[in-house]
């Protein structure tokens, strides 16, 4: 199968690596607006060819859009116009609502499968691509009933070939739940970095006082501003909703400390501890 991957960053690059390794793709065509990314991908054998978007779409059995979500919104209608009749398009975007509503009346809508792999790292670009990035992670397919059955089957085969667990979800629900779990985590990490950089002027002190705990909590603050700006724009309401909840909890925590109500902070922390068993369940599935 010929697979066109649009966007040779962390996600697109990692897909290219694994879909060639596992034999799912016989030929991988890369598309990227950065000539540097294309050169890197060709030189390292990550892709077989690079081409411009239209040429690459015409040749593909499957087109995977692995670009920031606003770029998905911008190019998806054209991609659906250009592909061959039996070809399929899927995307890897972190938000789904606007993409799905913009595509609703596209004549080729049913060749599109909206997807979101719950995988990534804080790094970006093709050099950040990793073998096995998707292994044992969840792949969320949204509004599958609005895609042709054979298109959904192909997307499922794609994700299974990467050893992903497939979850089906309504697109609107997806955005809400993604905000509640994934998007708020990234923002809390960005804000932690901003706070530490403001308060702690000495890099040596950050370095010396950063235990593994700080590194873990602040890790996502290294993530791509471009990708995340698009997510905020596409998922504004859900993100505001969860940030208001976060701000309320933080204020409550702060006020207990300010009032010397340390037992109340104990209660809050005991409640927070409940996240442990949920995460351990996840680790068990991974191992």
Binders in 145-184 for its own copies, by CB under 8 A: 165, 167, 177-178, 180-182, 184
Among 10, 66, 137, 147, binds its own copies (CB under 8 A): 137
Return the range that interacts with its own copies (CB under 8 A); candidates 73-81, 83-91, 95-103, 272-280: 272-280
Q: Shortest gap between Cβ of 172 and its own copies (angstroms)? A: 14
Residue 12 belongs to what H/E stretch?
helix 10-21
Q: Shortest gap between Cβ of 152 and its own copies (angstroms)? A: 18
Give the residue among 207, 208, 179, 175 at the shortest CA–CA distance from 101.
Answer: 175
Binding mask 219-258 for its own copies (x = CB under 8 A): xxxxx-xx-xx--xx--x--xxxxxxxxx-xxx-xx--xx
How far apart are the C-alpha atoms of 79 and 112, rounded to whole Å? 10
Q: Give whichever of 51 and 246 is closer to its own copies, judged by the CB atom.
A: 246
Looking only at residues 8 through 27 of this chain, which bind its own copies when binding is defined by CB under 8 A?
A: none
Q: Give whichever of 3 and 220 is closer to its own copies, judged by the CB atom.
A: 220
In the numeric block, which tokens belong to residue 174?
């997806």
With the CA atoms of 2, 69, 137 and 217 taken in that order, what torsion angle do they form, in degrees rounded to the nearest 10? 140
Q: Is 205 in the site for its own copies (CB under 8 A)?
A: yes
Q: Give whichever of 28 and 220 is closer to its own copies, judged by the CB atom.
A: 220
Q: Give whichever of 39 and 168 is closer to its own copies, judged by the CB atom.
A: 168
Q: Give whichever of 105 and 273 is closer to its own copies, judged by the CB atom.
A: 273
Query: Could you tell me which residues come within 8 angstroms of residue 122 by beta carbon, excluding any fewer than 6 positions away?
Result: 219, 220, 221, 222, 223
Among 23, 104, 263, 287, binds its own copies (CB under 8 A): 263
Binding mask 103-132 for its own copies (x = CB under 8 A): ---------------xxxxx----------
Q: Residue 27: helix, strand or coil by DSSP?
A: strand
How far apart are the C-alpha atoms of 118 and 246, rounded to whole Å? 22
Residues 6, 64 contacting (CB under 8 angstroms): yes
Among 52, 145, 199, 287, binds its own copies (CB under 8 A): 199
Give the residue among 143, 147, 117, 145 at the shortest CA–CA distance from 132.
Answer: 117
Return the range that interacts with its own copies (CB under 8 A); candidates 72-80, 103-111, 149-157, 217-225: 217-225
Q: Give whichever of 101 and 216 is closer to its own copies, judged by the CB atom.
A: 216
DSSP 8-state symbol, 68: -
Q: Shortest gap between Cβ of 219 and its own copies (angstroms)? A: 5
Query: Could you tell me which residues come within 8 angstroms of residue 4 by beta carbon, excluding any fewer than 6 positions away?
Result: 28, 29, 30, 31, 51, 56, 57, 59, 60, 62, 63, 64
How far apart are the C-alpha atoms of 114 and 93, rounded to whole Å? 8
């Amino acid at each position: 199968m010929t697979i066109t991957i649009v966007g040779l960053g962390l996600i697109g690059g990692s897909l290219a690596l694994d879909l060639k390794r596992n034999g799912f793709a016989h030929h991988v065509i890369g598309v990227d607006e950065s000539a540097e990314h294309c050169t890197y991908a060709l030189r390292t054998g990550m892709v077989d060819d690079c081409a411009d978007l239209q040429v690459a779409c015409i040749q593909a059995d499957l087109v995977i859009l692995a670009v920031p979500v606003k770029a998905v919104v911008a190019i998806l209608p054209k991609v659906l116009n250009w592909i061959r009749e039996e070809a399929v398009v899927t995307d890897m975007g972190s938000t789904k609502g606007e993409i799905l509503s913009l595509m609703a009346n596209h004549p080729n809508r049913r060749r599109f499968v909206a997807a979101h792999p719950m995988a990534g790292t804080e790094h970006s670009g093709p050099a950040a691509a990793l073998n096995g990035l998707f292994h044992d992670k969840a792949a969320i397919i949204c509004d599958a009933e609005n895609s042709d059955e054979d298109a959904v089957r192909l997307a499922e085969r794609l994700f299974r070939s990467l050893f992903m667990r497939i979850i089906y979800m309504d697109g609107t629900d997806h955005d809400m739940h993604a905000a509640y779990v994934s998007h708020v985590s990234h923002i809390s990490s960005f804000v932690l970095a901003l706070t530490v950089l403001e308060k702690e002027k000495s890099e040596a002190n950050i370095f010396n006082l950063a235990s593994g705990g700080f590194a873990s909590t602040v890790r996502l603050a290294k993530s791509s501003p471009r990708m995340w700006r698009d997510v905020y724009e596409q998922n504004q309401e859900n993100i505001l909703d969860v940030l208001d909840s976060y701000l309320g909890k933080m204020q409550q925590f702060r006020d207990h400390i300010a009032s010397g109500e340390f037992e109340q902070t104990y209660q809050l922390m005991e409640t927070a501890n409940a996240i442990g068993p949920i995460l351990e369940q996840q680790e068990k599935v991974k191992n």
